[in-house]
Amino acid sequence: MEYLAPGSRRLRFGVNYVPSEGWFHSWLDLDRDAVARDLDDIASLGMDHVRIFPVWPWLQPNRSHVRAQAVADVRTVIRLGAERGLDVCVDLLQGHLSSFDFLPSWVLTWHQRSIFTDTVARDGLRSYVKELVRALSPEPNVFAFTLGNEVNNLWPANATTLAESHAWAEDLLSAIRLHARADQLVVHSLFDDAFYAPDHPFSAEDVTTLGDVSSVHSWVFNGTSRVDGPLGPATTSHAAYLARLAGACGAPDRPVWLQEVGAPQPDIPYDAAEQFVRRTVAAASAVPTLTGITWWCSHDIDRRMVDFPEREYDLGLFAVDHAAKPAAHALRDAIESARSTDPQEAQSISLPADIVSDPSARALVAPGSDFHRSWVALGSQPGGGFTPPLITPVSMPNDGSLGE
C-alpha cells in the first residue's frame, strides 16, 4: 500500500471481515465452508483485500501458550482469501470488537495487569506477536499486520499515559517488524479520540509517526452527523477530514489508510446509505496521500446474538443470508469511479493549534468545532461536490493559495 504520486497511485479497496455465522465467536469452531462463502461475497464486489480479527485470548489463553490449532485456523482463512484473489491484513490484539472487550485471564482478576504498562504483560504480548507473525508472515497474500483493533478502547480499564501508550506501541510494532516480511505493512490502529479528545492518553502523534502508514477510522456517530445531517458535507467528508488531519500532524507525504469507515444507523438512515457511501468514497479518495479504503463491514450480525449496540447489527454490506444490500452496490460503483479519478488541487487551511505538541488543544479540531466547520465550508463545491482542503501545520503560512 505504498504512496504513489497523483496520476500513478493504486488505491486498495477492501472490507473488514465480520463472519455471517457466529460473529467472531466463529473462531472457536471455524467452519471452512461458511468462511469460503463469506469471502465469495466480498470478492464479488471487486474488493482486493480483507482485514481479519483473530480473537487474542482464544489464541493465547495462557501467557506461555499460543494454541497451534488456533494459529492454523487463521492460516486457513488467509489461504481461503488467497484462493479468491484477496490479500489479507491480520489484526493481532482483539482486544476490542463492536463494543466488546476480549482480554485473556492472565491480565484479569487476581492477575490484574495493565496491558500498556505492566512488564509481565508486555513480555506475554511480545511472545504472542513473535509467534503469530512468524507463523503467518510467509503467507504471500498477507500484506499487513495491525497491532490491534482500536487498542485505545481498552483504556481506562488498562491504565496508561500518553508517554506510556507511545512507548508500548513503539516496542510491539518493532517486534512485529522484526518478524514480518520487508514488503508487509506494520500498522497501529486507534479510534479518533487520538485526534479529538483533550485528555485522551493516545495521541495524534501515535497515529502519524508509528508504523508504516497513518491509519484512520471514521465513524460519524462521534457527533459529526449532528453538524449537518446524514448527507451533509461535514458528514460525508469526515473520512477525508481525518486523512487531512493525519497529514497535518505528521509527514505531509506519509501514506494514509482509511482502515475503517461505515454507514451506522440511525446516524445514516438505511435509505441514505447509498449516497453516503458514494460521497464518502469520492471525498476520501480525493486526498492524494490516501492509499486504501477498508469498509466496515462485510456482513450484518445475526440478531440472535444479543447485547450489541443497535447500530452494530446492520453495518454489513451483506445481510446474514448473503443478500447484497444497496450500500454494497454503491461501494462497488464508487470504487470504480475512484480508481479512474485523480486527486484535484485543493485550497489550504492552517490548524488552529499544534495538537501534537499540545494534546490538550485537540477539542479545537473536533467535529463541530469552528475549525472543522471552516474546513467543510472551504471544501464544499456547487452541486454537492467536495474537494477536501489541505490542512497545514500552524508553523506553515496559509496564504489562501492552492495546495498540493
Name the residue among 85, 91, 88 with its Cα closest to residue 77. Answer: 88
Provide the CA 321 distance to its chain's centre, in angstroms.
26
As given in the structure block, the three cell numbers for residue 350 are: 492552517
Q: Which of 5, 4, 2, 37 is nearest to 19 (CA)?
A: 37
What are the CA-CA distances from residue 352 to residues 100, 297, 313, 359, 395 (Å)? 35, 34, 38, 12, 10
Per-residue model confidence (pLDDT) at position 345:
83
pLDDT at position 382:
85
pLDDT in tens, 300-332: 999 999 999 999 999 999 999 999 999 999 999
User: Mutual orientation of helices 238-249 and 273-285 as an angle, nearest 10°?
Assistant: 20
pLDDT tens-digit map of 151-171: 999 998 999 999 999 999 999
- All 3 cell numbers of residue 1? 500500500
Bridge-based pairing of strands 87-93 and 49-52 is parallel
Q: What percent of the chain has pLDDT over 90?
A: 91
One-letter identity of residue 206:
D
For the whole prediction, is pTM greater than 0.85? Answer: yes
Q: What residues contact residue 372 under an 8 Å CB cut-off, 6+ apart? A: 227, 234, 241, 365, 366
* Inter-residue contact 82 to 126 (CB < 8 Å): no
| DSSP character at residue 62 | B
Mean pLDDT of 250-279: 97
The pLDDT, as a whole number, for residue 9 is 62
Condensed to tens digits (0 to 9), the pLDDT of residues 38-92 reads 999 999 999 999 999 999 999 999 999 999 999 999 999 999 999 999 999 999 9
Residue 1, pLDDT > 60, answer no
- Quick one: residue 155, left, alpha or beta (phi over 0 = left, psi -120 to 50 = alpha)? beta
Cell numbers representing residue 366 in the block? 473536533
Asked whether residue 387 carries a pLDDT value surpassing 60, the answer given is yes
**Local confidence band at 394 (pLDDT 50, 70, 90 cut-offs):** confident
Give the percent of the chain with pLDDT over 70.
Answer: 95
For residues 381 and 346, what is the distance between their CA atoms, to the nearest angstrom? Answer: 11
Rounded Cα distance between 52 and 259, Å, is 12
* Euclidean distance between CA atoms 376 and 217, whole angstroms: 18
Q: Which domains are present in the chain?
A: 12-344 (3.20.20.80)
Is the Cβ–Cβ distance between 369 and 380 less than 8 Å?
no
